Amino acid sequence: MKRKIRIDRIITLLLTLVFLTGIIISLTKIIQWKKNTTDNNKIKEEINENIKVVQEEEEPKYVVDFEALKQQNSDTVAYLKVENTNVDYVVVKGNDNDYYLNHNFKKEYNVAGWIFADYKNKFDGTDKNIVIYGHNMQDGSMFASLKEILTSNWQNNEKKQITLVTEKETITYEIFSSYIIEAEDYYITTNFSNNQLFKEFINTIINRSYYNYNVEVDESDNILTLSTCTGTGKNRIVIHAKQINLEQN
C-alpha cells in the first residue's frame, strides 16, 4: 500500500514538473516574441526615416534613400507599400528563402523575421512575377494585415493598389486576385520559359480568387505576388497584383 502511495506521489511530482516546464517554455516564447516584435517595430521606425512621401497632385510619391539603407543592410532591394493595410516596409533579398524568416533587417536573430523577396527574383526588369514574403504576426505587424484583403469590407475600398519602389523604378500594381491555399511552389513561380505557360499561370491564379476584381491580365503583363501564412502553418494567404504603371526614379 505504502509502495503504491510513493509511486503515486512520484507520478504526481513528475506531472507537476512537466506542467511547470511547459508553462516556463511558453512564457519564455511569449517574452521572446514580444521582445522581437518590439525590436522590429523600432527598426521599422528608424529605417523608414529614409523614406519621404511627396504629394504630387492626387498621388503620393515615395522617395527612398537606398544608399543610406544599403549602408545598414546591403540586401536592401525595395520599399513596399500596400494601400489600406499596415504594410509599409523596406524589402530585403537574401541568398535563399530561409534566412529572413528568422532574421530582421539588422541581420539579428528574430522570430518575426523581415519582409523579403524571393531569392530567385532579379529586380532588373526581367521578372515576370516578383514574389515577396512576410510573417503574419499577432500584433498586426509584417504581413498580418494582408488578411484584411480577403474580407468583404476591405473590398469596398476604391483603391486596391500596391507600390513597389526599387533603386531605378517606382512601380504601381493593381490587385487582381486574393485567396487562401495550402503551401505550394506553383504560385511563387518567378519566371516562365514561354508565354503560354505564363498565360496558364495567370488563368489559374485568377480562377482561385475569392473576388472578381475586374482587372484584365495577360501574358504581356508583369505581376507582384505577396505571400504570408494564415497562422495554421499549412495554408498561405496570397495576393496577386498586375503592374499598371512604371516610372523611372
Q: For the chain, how big is the Rg over CA atoms in Å?
A: 22
> How far is Cα 73 from Cα 107, in angstroms, rounded to an integer?
8
Cα–Cα dist 229/57, whole Å: 37
Residues in a beta bridge with 88: 81
DSSP secondary structure string, 29-71?
Answer: HHHHHHHHHHHHHHHHHHHGGGEEEEEETTEEEEEE-HHHHHH
The Cα 224–Cα 164 span in angstroms is 9
Task: Measure the CA–CA gap between 147 and 138, rounded to whole angstroms.
Answer: 12
pLDDT by residue for the chain (249 residues), tens only, comes to 555 556 666 666 666 666 556 555 455 555 565 677 788 899 999 999 999 988 766 778 899 999 999 999 999 999 999 999 999 999 999 999 999 999 999 999 999 999 999 999 999 989 999 999 999 998 899 999 999 999 999 999 999 999 999 999 999 999 999 999 999 999 999 999 999 999 999 999 999 999 999 999 999 999 999 999 997 778 999 999 999 999 988
Q: Where are the beta strands (DSSP E) in the chain?
A: 51-56, 59-64, 76-82, 88-92, 116-117, 129-133, 161-165, 169-182, 223-229, 235-248
User: Do 130 and 117 touch, CB atoms closer than 8 A?
Assistant: yes
Residue 57 is predicted with a pLDDT of 67
This prediction has a pTM of 0.87
Q: Which amino acid is at 91?
A: V
Q: Which fold has domain 78-248?
A: Sortase; Chain: A; (2.40.260)
Secondary structure E strands in 167-234: 169-182, 223-229
Nearest C-alpha neighbor of 175 from the set 210, 201, 144, 220: 210
- Any idea which residue has 496577386 for its cell? 240
